[in-house]
Structure 1
C-alpha cells in the first residue's frame, strides 16, 4: 500500500544470497512508477501488473508473496494463473472473498474524512517534501473495486499466513487478525512474527528466515 518494490530491497538481497531468484514488481502508480499515477488505476491494473511479470518472465513453480494491500493483488493473481504458483504467502495482508474490496472489508467510507486528490489517497505519513525512495499516494479505485474470484484451483495452492504482532501486543487487537482467522478457517498454517506492520523494513532477517522455512517445508 503506497509503496513499491524498493521497500523489499533488503529482503531481495538476503534471499538472493541464499540462491533464490527474486522478483519484486512495483505496481502501476507506485514507487519508481509514480509518474504513471492516475485516477484510472484499478485493482485489476495491479493484478495484471503481477500476472504479466510472471507470464513475460515465464515463471513457474513460484512462491508468490503479498503484504498488506498486496493480499488483494496476489489473491487476484492466484485466481488468474494458479497453475504457475507453487506456494502462496500472505504477510499481514488482506485475504478477500469474492466480491469484497478494501473499503468493504475495513468498513472505511470513501468520504471527505479521507484525503483524496485527483483519485489518489494520501496517507497521513506521506509528505511531498520527502526524497525518494518513499511511500506515495495510492490510487483510490484499487481500494473501492470489488475483487472477482472465479477459479477454485486458487484454493488448492499451499498457502501460509504470517501475522505480524508488535512486542507486548495482543494478536487479537491487530488490524489483520481477522484475516489470519480467515486463513485458519481455510485450514492454512498461520504463523506469528514479532514485528510491526512493515517487517521487510523493521525485521528483514527474521522475516526471511520464516519465508525460507515455509518454502522448504
Structure 2
C-alpha cells in the first residue's frame, strides 16, 4: 500500500505538536500595567511615543497628565500644589481599579510618585524613577536642590514658575507655567510598605558627562543608592524619552524585574 499521500498530514500533525510543546515550555513574557508620570511644566503628551512602544509590546499604559498642565492647562492656577498632583495619580489608579502597577516618574514626577507610593503601596508592583527627584520624607523639591534662596523675578512671578521657551501662539503640545506651590510643598515618605517597594533609579547621562561625577553631585542619585535601590544609567539628555523612546520603553520593561539590595551593595 502506498502511504505517500498521508505524509503531509503526518508532517502537519508533528509540526502542530512541536509548536504546542514550545508554547507550553516558554510562556509569553508577562504583560504589565504602566502608569507614566511626567515632569514639571510638561504633560502626558511628552510620553506619547514611549507609551506607544510599551502598548505595542502588549502592555497596558496610562499617561497621566497632572492638573493645570498639558491638555489640562485650562485648570491651571497658583493654588495647585504637589498634593493636587499626588491626588491626580492616586485617583487615576483607584478609579481605573489598577493593581500591580509599574509606576514611573520623570524629573518633578519623582516627587509625585513618592507621594503615591506613600499613599497606596498595595497597588504598586514596581517603581521607576527616570532622571527624577528622589526626596527624603518631609522634603520639598527646593529642599532637595538647595533652592530656598530668593527666586529670580523673571522666572518665578505671580505664583508661577514661568517657562521662557514657550511663546504666545505656540501650537500644542508645549510646556506651560506651573504653580510655585508644587515645588515648595514637602512630601510624605514614611509608610513602611512604601519603603519596602522594589524601586529602580535611572540617571539619564549625556555623552559629555562622566557617570562618576554625576554620582558625586546628584542628591537624588545618592538618596536612591543609600536606600539600596537598583541603579541604572541611560545615555541621553534629561528628556531621553523623546530622544530615544524605544530605548526608554525597553529600559522600563527590563527594570520591572529589578530588586532592592542592601545599601552597602548598591552600585552605580
TM > 0.5 between the two?
Answer: yes
Secondary structure of the residue aligned to 1:136 is coil
Q: Which moved more, 1:117-126 or 1:76-85?
A: 117-126
- Correspondence 1:3-42 to 2 at 5 A: 3-42=42-81
Q: Does 1:100 align with 2:126?
A: no
What is the TM-score with the length of structure 2 in the denominator?
0.77
Distance apart, 1:113 and its partner CA: 3.9
Instruction: Point out the more displaced range, 144-153 or 115-124.
Output: 115-124
Runs of 5+ in structure 1 lacking a partner?
none
Query: Could you say if the C-alpha distance between residues 102 and 114 of structure 1 is closer, same or farther in structure 2, counting changes exceeding 3 Å?
Result: farther
The structure with the largest alpha-carbon Rg is 2
CA distance in 2, matches of 1:189, 1:57: 29
TM-score with structure 1 setting the length: 0.94
CA contact (8 A) 1:116 1:122 kept: yes
Q: Does 1:158 align with 2:209?
A: no
SS of residue paired to 1:201 = helix
Give distance in 2, aligned partners of 1:157 and 1:148: 15
1:118 aligns with 2:119: no
**1:129, distance to aligned residue in structure 2 (A):** 3.0
Conservation of the 8 A alpha-carbon contact between 1:27 and 1:33? yes
1:65 alignment counterpart: 104
**How far apart are 1:56 and its partner, in Å?**
0.0
Deviates more, 1:169-178 or 1:47-56: 169-178
How far 1:123 moved relative to its partner? 2.9
- Is the counterpart of residue 188 in structure 1 residue 188 in structure 2? no
| Partner of residue 261, structure 2 | none
Residue 168 (1) aligns with residue 208 (2): yes
Q: Tell me the distance in 2 between the aligned counterparts of 1:110 and 1:145.
A: 16
**Matching of residue 44 in structure 1 with residue 83 in structure 2:** yes
Contact persistence 2:114–2:188 (CA under 8 A): no
| Alignment: residue pair count | 217
Q: CA deviation at 1:171?
A: 2.6
Greater Cα shift, 124-133 or 162-171 = 124-133
**Following TM superposition, by how much is the alpha carbon of 1:173 offset from its aligned partner in structure 2, in angstroms?**
4.6
Partner of residue 248, structure 2: 207
Q: Alignment RMSD, CA only?
A: 1.6
Tell me the CA shift for residue 26 of structure 1.
Answer: 0.3
